[in-house]
Amino acid sequence: MESEGKVTIRELQNYFKFEQLTGNEDSLSRWVIVPDVNRPGLELAGFFKHTEPRRIVIIGDKEQAYIDTLSVEIQRERFEQLTDGYTPTIIISHHRSCPEVLKEIASYKNFPIFRTSMTTSRLMVDLVSFLDERLAPSDSIHGVLISVYGKGVLICGESGMGKSETALELIRKGHVLVADDRVDVVRVHNSIIGHSPQLLQGMLEIRGIGIIDVAKMFGASALLPSAQIDLVVSLEKFDSSVEYARVGIENEQFMHVLEVDLPKIVLPVKEGRTMAVLIESAVTNFRLKEMGFDSAKEFENRVYDYIEKQNVANAAAEKEKE
Catalogue the active-site residues.
Answer: 142, 163, 181, 246
DSSP three-state, residue 67: helix
Residue 34 and residue 68 in contact, taking contact as beta carbons nearer than 8 Å = no
Strand positions, DSSP E, the chain: 7-8, 19-22, 31-32, 37-38, 56-59, 90-92, 113-115, 138-142, 144-148, 151-157, 176-179, 182-188, 191-195, 203-206, 210-213, 226-237, 253-257, 260-269
Helix-then-strand count for the chain, H and E: 10, 18
Least Cα distance to 32 among 6, 11, 14, 60 occurs for: 6
Spatial CA neighbour of 35 closest among 138, 129, 139: 129
Paired sense of beta strands 203-206 and 210-213, if any:
antiparallel
Reduced to 3 states (helix: H, G, I; strand: E, B; else coil), residue 52 is coil
DSSP character string of 249-317: -SPPEEEEETTEEEEEEEEEE-TT--HHHHHHHHHHHHHHHHTT--HHHHHHHHHHHHHHHHHHHHHHH
Tell me which DSSP letter residue 17 carries. Answer: T
Query: Coil, helix or strand for 48?
Result: coil
How many CA atoms within 13 Å lie on the side-chain side of 313?
6
The torsion angles phi and psi of 64, rounded to 5 degrees, stand at -60, -45
